Structure 1
Amino acid sequence: MEKPRAERRRMAGEVDRALALLERRGPGEGVAAAMLYRDRTMAENTVWRQRRTGDRMVLSAHNGHVGYETPKPDQYPRLQGAFLRDLLGGDYLSVGASFGRGSFNAHDTGAPGEPIRTFTVAPLGPDSSAATLDRVASGPFYLDMRHTTPAARDWPGAARPVRQIGTVFPWPGDTVPVRLSTAYDLLIHFPGSRRRGCADPPSHVWTGPCAGMLAEEPPPAHGAHSALRPPRRGGTGLAVTGMSVEPYREITFDKDGDGPPGQAAALAALARQGVGDLVLFAHGWNNSPSGATRLCSDFFAPFPGLLAPGTEMGYAGVIWPSMMFTDEPVPDFRALVTVLPEKEPVIERLTELLDAAPAEEAAFAEFGALLRELTDVDAESVAVREPVPEFLVGDPVQVCALFTGALEDSHEEAFFGEGLKKYWKGAKEVLRQATYYVMKKRAGQVGEHGLGPLLGEVARSAPGLRVHLVGHSMGARLVAYALRGLPAGARPVASVTLLQGAFSHYAFAARLPHDPGRPGSLRDLQNRVRGPVVACYSRHDRALGVVYPLASRLATDSESLLGTDDPRWGAIGHDGVQAVPGTVGLSIAEALRAGVPGTGCVSVDAAEVVLSHSDICRPELAEVVVSASRTGR
């Protein structure tokens, strides 16, 4: 009551608006749904602030929020850090904290409502992560999980007991198994901790796995719990610092497939430096160039330990303007502005409609018109233009209802309303599919008119350099379409590996099984590759197995991609290469044990290791690429 009446009224109004927003956008039922909603909302709020200020930001929170991998999926299905990684890519850095023994302040679960008190704990035991880390140094230090040596890479990748203490103690599950290398980018370890009196003005406060825990001394300069960094600016065709492998070069293209001069020369120069094989990786959907660079670093990290002695391997990343398309139920549509800046007013209005979810047909009609504007589809003249997906020109209510029904069948979150209002859940997927449509065209354009001609230039300057193309998701489409853009007679590509490819499984077919008069869009282009074309696929890829197919069926374009259970709509990343005689099918275990064939199309069932659409930074997949390149041990 000490504040002025006008300020109290303003604060009360803000609280009322916040409550109304929560009631409209409720989390659903159950602890897991509430925790998922909480962490996702915290991430969205953090990114909203950072994007509007452009500032560096340090986010201080519990390990169980800023990390990437949840140790309790039944209670915390997905962490704030994982959402931030989706939204920001490599511009987000997760820094965890751990300690071995000592004292800290927390609320006592046995005395609710009482003041904070001090607890002291002994070491966890010899099988814990802290037991090993305590032996490294007597004082605080940090471990950079991004750049561990091959000899040390396995240890942080194993799940070991770790303390995760929040604002209350003791609590069931204070000790959980955590894989440090997949949970954080950096880990700061304190061999011992001591509590501070709550009234003492500490010189350094650390909000880590123990609420109220204070370090005995400030951690190193990297000691920010989680950092949001402004996007990196850098040269193209040049080396990139902080990469897990060397030599590494970065190749960039704009949406039309144009890139800065000198990129082909930079790759050809690697051959003059002794490089005989070049692995070139194209990312899929991603929000930022730095996020794509980080993905390249993570993917390439296992390669040096897999190569045969004497192999001189070079590495390159293809960075292109794409939008991340996660298989999470609520993607960040505002991030569309980063790849479609000219459409910002349209995107803002689409976002407003999705947030408000008005139960009127007029709102759906406006939504449909905005989608056509977003994708540059003119509904009135569509008959005389290139074919476009039916869902962009059909009745918006019917289309959104169809997507809503598909999501319900695939056990997505429950509908959040009745009547027309519930169809806005399907509308979110329609917008995501519209984004897919734009990115699909862009990936083909960049591959055929950007990467393909560039590889032709490299072949002329360095004819002995063997190029191994690798692509994930839409990046798989990009590298596959690069084969179509190769100059006549050029054969620089020694192998192709497609990881969860987001394009038709009939793409390489000479004729479509359901329409023998039509070929696949990449008919027989596997013959432009001197070695194998390997398609890794997984039945766990829900994105390629459930909702993408629906969009293709609506597009009535079976060669383009995807559908329901009808094989006409299948993705190459869901069931491998189809309708190409002589294609060899292998399990991932068989491919790792005996290698892949030296030529032709190969389908590798990677379901044992690939558990979702983006789960590609796996040493087993790196080994498949090395096997296809014939450079392994």
Structure 2
Amino acid sequence: MSGSFQQITLEGGAQADFFLLRYDEDGRLLSPRAEEDLKRRLPGVSDVYLFSHGWNNIFDKALERYRSFINGYMEQRRTFAIPTPQGYRPLLIGIIWPSTSFVFPWEAGPDIAAAPDPEGREAAEVEEMLELVATSLPGAKRPEFTERIDGHTAIGRADALKLAGLVLGTLRSEADPDDGSRAPTAKEFLDTWQVLEAGAHPVPADGDEIGLVPDEEHEDGAPPVGGAPAVAADIPFDPRSLLRAATVWKMKARAGDVGAHGVSPLVGHILQQGGPRLHLIGHSFGARVLLSALATAAPARKAHSMLLLQPAVNRWCFAGNVAGTGRKGGYHAVPDLLERPLVTTFSAHDEPLRTFFHLAMRGSQLGEPEIAAFGNTDLYGALGGYGPAEEPGRTAKADAIFPDKGRYDLESGARIIAVDGSIEFDGQPAIPGHGEVSRPVTWWALHCLTRPD
């Protein structure tokens, strides 16, 4: 594509350019003519809104989500007569990156348990996962990996160890970029695999985490460090659980690559001295795209704002001291690259980020060197599921604010404001699920960050 994708009609009949930029899985720009045209139009622009979608979005779906958010945001401005900055002339950019996958369609309410599907959806998911993971392995290892999985729903421990070693060595060999934890060993991952297997059974009525038998709970309801899998040690392993975890690892890494290698140069260009105000809005793994882009851009000046919607990143990613390890989170510096505090949402109704992410992303001995942290949401929980790890004076939590019912305190000194979307308005959660983020409370959050008053 080249040039502006379409014109968005603003208040009073003015027009704003809406560009779509496509990147490949390594972050290579596939829309160079569109980017050239975009850069030519930046002079005279007052505000740039840069959006990045999350997982499982084909082009049409991503475009639909961008339009939904933009239209809701503009309609809310008209409804509540929200002022715009003087000389307001916005430009909008939607990132299109290869996140398409049947597995974990988080925006549509995923079937994490992989229950039988008479219409064949699960079979299609498994085929896509197998291809995605197998093609990531060195060529010599692909036949062995495929043969051990193809057509199997249960394998023995020896085969499971071999498969885990093959995948970990390629897709999870480095320290986690969010929290710095070492990758698990194949044996450590088999323990997690068993917990994932337990997730195929109903969650107990008392709300315990998937397949865990807690002897005591943290304040947030998370299972204790050291909780053991509620499964027998000799159970067979379903290779689909490995494929699901491996797909998470691959997509997480891909989002970081797209941000650091693809979107980052554009962010740096926009933030050249004297350019427009930059507002970054990312959902799910799209939050990682934009965090990586800003973190690596070495900007000449600060971006104006960042709104993360149910981000699929570790809750320690902004920390100055990750779980007492002395390490800084991978995006510790990002809030200080913004004029206004970073605003990020979380919700207890985000099932994938509350019940799966911390299992898939469990590393090796983070924070508790002698204890296996099964299902520990304090250490491995997602930012969009549990909010950021709190640091006095740097982070603040606030209930989601309904339109025209107040504003977030952007002057308290906190650099990160975590917005709790679990609270209800008129009997409905403010953020009822992972993909339901184009909502009155999220449009309002962006208005609070961007309005001049």
When the two structures are superposed, what TM-score results if normalisation uses the length of structure 2? Answer: 0.71
Partner of 1:454: 266
Q: Which residue of 1 aligns with 2:37?
A: 266
User: Which among 516, 521, 530 is matched to residue 339 of structure 2?
Assistant: 530
- Matches for 1:277-296 after TM superposition, within 5 Å: 277-296=47-66
- Identify the residue that residue 401 of structure 1 maps to in structure 2: 194
Q: CA deviation at 1:256?
A: 2.3
Q: Deviations over 1:40-71 (max 9, x none)?
A: xxxxxxxxxxxxxxxxxxxxxxxxxxxxxxxx
* Aligned counterparts of 2:259 and 2:270: Cα–Cα separation in 1: 15
Name the CA distance, whole Å, in 2 between partners of 1:347 and 1:314. 48
Which sits farther off after the overlay, 241-250 or 274-283? 241-250
Please give the alpha-carbon distance, in whole angstroms, between the structure 2 residues aligned to 1:313 and 1:437: 36
Deviation at 1:436, TM superposition (A): 1.1
Counterpart code for 2:37: A
In 2 relative to 1, CA 395–455 (structure 1 residues): closer, same or farther, beyond 3 Å?
closer
Alignment partner for residue 510 of structure 1, among 299, 314, 320? 320
- Residue identity in the other structure for 1:368: A
Q: Deviations over 1:450-493 (max 9, x none)?
A: 22221111233x833111101111111121122211225332x2
**1:410 offset after TM fit, Å?**
3.5
- Whether the 8 Å contact between 1:447 and 1:479 is mirrored in structure 2 is yes
Hey, what does 2:311 align to over in structure 1? 501
Query: Structure 1 residues 503, 597: closer, same or farther in 2, change over 3 A?
Result: same
| Partner residue, 2:352 | 543
SS in 1 for 2:93: strand
Residue 446 of structure 2 corresponds to residue 625 of structure 1: yes
1:584 and 1:508 map into 2 onto residues whose CA distance is: 13
Return the match for 2:73 from 295, 299, 303.
Answer: 303
State whether residues 203 and 210 of structure 2, in contact with CA within 8 Å, keep that contact through their aligned partners in structure 1: no
Preserved contact between residue 321 and residue 327 of structure 2 (Cα < 8 Å): yes
Counterpart-to-counterpart distance in 2, 1:347 and 1:625: 49
1:534 partner letter: V
Paired with 2:134 and 2:16, the residues of 1 have a C-alpha distance of 34
Deviations 1:586-622 (A, max 9, x none): 1113685222233621110012222222221223212
Quickly say closer, same or farther: Cα 1:551–1:597, change in 2 above 3 A: same
Following superposition, the deviation at residue 360 of structure 1 comes to 3.7
SS in 1 for 2:431: coil
Equivalent position to 1:356, from 130, 133, 152: 152
Separation of aligned partners in 2, 1:478 and 1:569: 19
After TM superposition, the structure 1 = structure 2 runs for residues 190-205 of structure 1, keeping only pairs within 5 Å, are none
CA distance in 2 between counterparts of 1:337 and 1:243 reads 44
Letter in 1 for 2:18: Y
Tell me the distance in 2 between the aligned counterparts of 1:616 and 1:387: 30
Residue aligned with 1:553, SS: coil
The answer for the alignment partner of 2:93 in structure 1 is 316
Q: What secondary structure does 1:457 align onto?
A: helix
Aligned length: 380
Gaps spanning 5+ residues in structure 1: where?
A: 1-234, 380-385
Instruction: Tell me which of 430, 433, 447 is aligned to 1:612.
Output: 433
- Measured after TM superposition, the shift of residue 438 of structure 1 is 1.4
The percent identity for this pair of structures is: 24
What is the identity, as a one-letter code, of the residue corresponding to 1:511? N
- The CA distance in 2 between the partners of 1:432 and 1:395, in whole Å, is 17
For 1:432, which of 229, 244, 255 is the aligned residue? 244
Summarize the Cα distance change of 1:576–1:359 in structure 2 as closer, same or farther, 3 Å threshold.
closer
Contact 2:26 2:258 in 1 (8 A): yes
**Which residue identity is paired with 2:194?**
A
Tell me the distance in 1 between the aligned counterparts of 2:299 and 2:264: 11
Equivalent position amino acid for 1:404 in 2: E
- 2:133–2:243 contact (8 Å) kept in structure 1: no
> Which residue identity is paired with 2:340?
G
Aligned to 2:111: 328
Please tell me whether residue 389 in structure 1 is matched to residue 183 in structure 2: yes
Any stretches of 5+ residues in structure 2 without a counterpart? 115-121, 175-179, 212-230, 423-428
Deviations 1:13-45 (A, max 9, x none): xxxxxxxxxxxxxxxxxxxxxxxxxxxxxxxxx
Q: CA deviation at 1:506?
A: 2.0
Partner of 1:593: 405
Q: Could you say what secondary structure the match of 2:315 adopts?
A: coil
Conserved 8 A contact 1:470-1:498: yes
Q: CA deviation at 1:524?
A: 3.2
Which is worse superposed, 476-485 or 544-553? 544-553
Q: In 2, distance between residues paired with 1:350 and 1:421? A: 23
CA shift for structure 1 position 409: 7.0
Report the alpha carbon displacement of residue 303 of structure 1 after superposing the two structures with TM: 1.8
CA deviations 1:207-245 (Å, max 9, x no partner) are xxxxxxxxxxxxxxxxxxxxxxxxxxxx16631599999
Alignment pair present for 1:578 and 2:355: no
Change (3 A) 1:237 1:555: farther
1:248 to 11, 18, 31: 18
Instruction: Give 1:361 deviation, angstroms.
Output: 4.0
Q: What does residue 79 of structure 1 align with?
A: none
Alignment of 1:482-493 (within 5 A): 482-491=293-302, 493=303
Give the equivalent residue in structure 2 for 1:239: 5
Task: Tell me the distance in 2 between the aligned counterparts of 1:622 and 1:576.
Answer: 19
Aligned to 2:425: none
**Shift in CA distance, 361/283, structure 1 to aligned 2, threshold 3 Å:** same
Q: Secondary structure of 1:597's match?
A: coil
Q: Give the Cα separation in 2 of the matches to 1:354 and 1:481.
A: 35
In 1, the alpha carbon distance for the partners of 2:172 and 2:388 equals 31
Structure with greater contact order relative to length (CA < 8 Å, sep ≥ 6): 2
Cα distance change on mapping 1:363 and 1:480 into 2, 3 Å: same
> 2:448 corresponds to which letter in structure 1?
S
- Residue 302 of structure 1: SS of its match in structure 2? helix
State the SS of the aligned residue for 1:394: helix
Alignment of 1:412-423 (within 5 A): 423=236
Cα distance change on mapping 1:291 and 1:337 into 2, 3 Å: farther
Q: Specify the alignment match of 2:164 in structure 1.
A: 368
Report deviation, 1:432. 1.2
Q: Distance in 1 between matches of 2:257 and 2:366?
A: 18
Residue pairs, 1:462-477, within 5 angstroms? 463-477=274-288
Alignment of 1:54-65 (within 5 A): none
Q: Partner of 2:225 in structure 1?
A: none
2:248 aligned with 1:445: no
Task: Using structure 1 for the length normalisation, give the TM-score.
Answer: 0.52
What residue identity is the alignment partner of 1:291?
K
Q: Which aligned pairs between 1:182-221 and structure 2 lie closer than 5 A?
A: none
Q: CA deviation at 1:350?
A: 5.1
Q: Distance in 1 between matches of 2:387 and 2:163?
A: 35
Contact in 1 for aligned 2:181/2:365 (Cα 8 Å): no
CA distance in 1 between partners of 2:367 and 2:314 (Å): 8
Alignment partners' CA distance in 2, 1:598 and 1:566: 28
